[in-house]
Amino acid sequence: MVCLNHPDVNAVAKCAACGKPLCAECVMIFDNQKYCSEACHLKGLASQLRAENVIGKKKSTDRKSGAKKFFTFVIIIIIAAGAAYFYSKNKKAIDQRASAGIETIKVRAGQAVEDGKKAVPTNSKYKQHRENLVNEK
Ligand SMILES: [Zn+2]
Ligand SMILES: [Zn+2]
């Protein structure tokens, strides 16, 4: 491979932007990168910046979603801690209310059973009728 500008001189490098073969005399070094021209240096710089932008954006979104997850986690912890605190602060009241609720249910259930018993007359017509039949025999 020979230099693009000097067909009789062997190329020692390639332009980092356009890939042109370059001899030692033609190589231009910018930021430790070899270029054929200032224009290619700028082109290379632009593509490098674009790549860094993409990487940077990806990193920042990763960080954002990580922060979001952490934030959600913190919220859950706060809510749980708040609930635990509220419960410990009002434990008696809540327990009382809960047991009162259970008592109410028990009382109502008992009443329902009583009501059910009352609803079925112990001396129903049919029973009496049956008993009469038995007595007649
Ligand atoms: Zn170039
Ligand atoms: Zn050259």
Burial of 45 (0-12, 13-18, 19+ CB in 10 A): middle
Owner of token pair 């290379």: 44
In a domain, 131, yes or no: yes
In a domain, 114, yes or no: yes
Ligand index nearest the alpha carbon of residue 37 = 1
Enter the pTM of the model.
Answer: 0.41
Task: Write the pLDDT tens digit of every residue in 73-95.
Answer: 888 888 888 888 888 888 888 78
In a domain, 115, yes or no: yes
Rounded distance from Cα 8 to ligand 2 centre (Å): 9
Q: What is the domain count for the chain?
A: 1
What distance, in Å, lies between the first and last C-alpha atoms of the chain? 130
Rounded distance from Cα 44 to ligand 1 centre (Å): 9
Q: What is the pLDDT of residue 132?
A: 77
Ligand index nearest the alpha carbon of residue 40 = 1
In a domain, 13, yes or no: no
Amino acid at 45: L
Ligand index nearest the alpha carbon of residue 7 = 2
Please state, in angstroms and as integers, the Cα–Cα distance from residue 133 to each residue in 120, 122, 129, 137, following that order.
21, 17, 6, 7
In a domain, 35, yes or no: no
In a domain, 14, yes or no: no
In a domain, 117, yes or no: yes
Segments in the chain below pLDDT 70: 120-124, 137
The whole domain housing 109 covers: 100-137
